[in-house]
Amino acid sequence: MPEKTLFQLSSPGRQAWSLPALDVPAVDAGETARKGNDLPELSEIDVARHFTRLSIMNHHVDKGFYPLGSCTMKYNPKVNELTSRLPGFTGLHPLEPESLTQGALRLMYELGEMLKEITGFDAVTLEPAAGAHGELTGIMMVRKYFEKRGESRDVVLVPDSAHGTNPASVTLSGFKAVQIKSNERGEIDPVELERACSNCVACLMVTNPNTLGIFEPEAKRICDIMHRQGALVYLDGANLNAYVGVHRPADAGFDLMHINLHKTFSTPHGGGGPGSGPVAVTKALEPFLPRPVVRRAEGQRDGGTEGQSDRTLDPSIPRSLDPLFYLDFDRPDSIGRVMGFHGQFAVLVRAYTYIRMLGAAGLKDAAESAVLNANYVRAELDGVYDLPYKGRCLHEVVFSGTNLKQYGIKTLDVAKRLLDYGMHAPTIYFPLIVPEALMIEPTETESRESLDGFIAAMRQIADEARTNPEILRQAPITTPVRRLDEAKASRELDVCYPV
């Protein structure tokens, strides 16, 4: 039975609160209250039970399999929530002086150092709020780089297998996006790339592994082609979860990348946030990083000198007043701030916790397990659904539901029917180069038993498409709310309950 709204549950005279006696004259607010805006009248237990029932209906990664994986809903270890809620972090204000925020600044500095080690780059900014924001930040740095060199370049090349935010970031940065077609294996074609590259091209944006889950085997050759033309190569790091601890992008020749902390290092991004998209760069691009940058002063405190700094600890100043970690604003070539204050701090804490808990060996094992899980699903469902690009994938596999069209069934019907099996739907109709696409990304935390349950459900749905297609067209049929008309809902939005 569908859950009633609070207004439907309302009963005159009920209340969930009690207040002390008034010590000021009472005022009748009835005449001033706007008509139709009265609040529902409910007891405390009515409210508690209503929202508890709604929370149980909601699907989330703690409740069941979520094949959107690190794209949206990677499992978030509970220890991350404990550390992100430590009073020393939650009680901070970003305008407090450096001397009172040393713990937070140290965490940010050390997280940046770990990300440099993981990616192989020379410098990092933690400011960007999410992946697309990181992309925009990176491409703005590319523009500043060429402006500083006095070069006029107005084109950025974007493969057709890239994330849709790539051309958007290019356009917002004032460049023109030019698409590069993939070859029959779903990879960037170096010959096609060489044909498209010229001295008007500023950058190539590469997603590796790409949105088909395929690792670009010619990554180093691709970077060499671009560098010979004086162009840069940007790596969309949204899929870093596939090779963290196994491969360092800077070693292949990439010039900069963004890192989705909420994808690779937990903090589920579903429902619109929160996210974090640090950008890592080579030394040539380091001057253009957003300001401020967290730096460490040189001195003998806390393990001696580390890294390079333009600031030295003053032994004549009390330790509490001479910060070891500080914010460096003196960056004349910086693109400026890209976010208020210093980034999504709670996400930084979760990512720091995740990396420290796993360590280098644990991160490598997580990536390899994610790849193993995706390939297990690929092998078990190949032939049940079309597999446009054969061969091993990395962390995700993209099927097509085109073989079900003969029964009048679309990928959308498969996704809806999965809800009846207690599983969230995977990403559908993306990447765009695959018709009726089903992108499945199980991540490293799923057991073989949960994968087998998903595989069995997908097999059953494919069988239903052949024997009982009408049930798929009506799905879901067991959920509190049946199939909605998405087009109607988006065009006739109504979020108010009439009273």
Q: What is the pLDDT of residue 61?
A: 84
Q: What is the pLDDT of residue 298?
A: 79
User: What mean pLDDT value characterizes the chain?
Assistant: 90
Share of the chain above pLDDT 90, in %: 71
Question: Of 431, 95, 481, 144, which is closest to residue 281 (Cα–Cα)?
Answer: 144
β-bridge pairing 437-440 and 397-400: antiparallel
Per residue in 403-413, pLDDT (tens digit) is: 999 999 999 99
* Domain boundary assignment for the chain: 79-354, 359-480
Q: What is the pLDDT of residue 157?
A: 96
Q: Give the mean model confidence (pLDDT) for residues 11-24.
A: 89
Q: What is the pLDDT of residue 306?
A: 45
- By CB atoms closer than 10 A (0-12, 13-18, 19+), residue 474 is middle
Top-level class of domain 359-480: alpha beta
Q: What is the pLDDT of residue 342?
A: 87
Q: Which residue has the higher pLDDT, 251 or 69?
A: 251
pTM of this prediction exceeds 0.85: yes
* Residue 37 pLDDT level (bands cut at 50, 70, 90): low
Q: Which residue has the higher pLDDT, 310 or 415?
A: 415
* Residue 229 pLDDT level (bands cut at 50, 70, 90): very high
* AA letter at 498: P
Q: Does the domain spanning 79-354 belong to CATH 3.40.640.10?
A: yes
Q: Which long-range contacts (CB under 8 A, 24 or more apart) does 38-41 make?
A: 38/499, 40/6, 40/7, 40/9, 40/10, 41/10, 41/11, 41/12, 41/13, 41/14, 41/15
Q: Give the mean model confidence (pLDDT) for residues 451-466.
A: 98
Per residue in 307-333, pLDDT (tens digit) is: 455 677 766 666 656 689 999 999 999
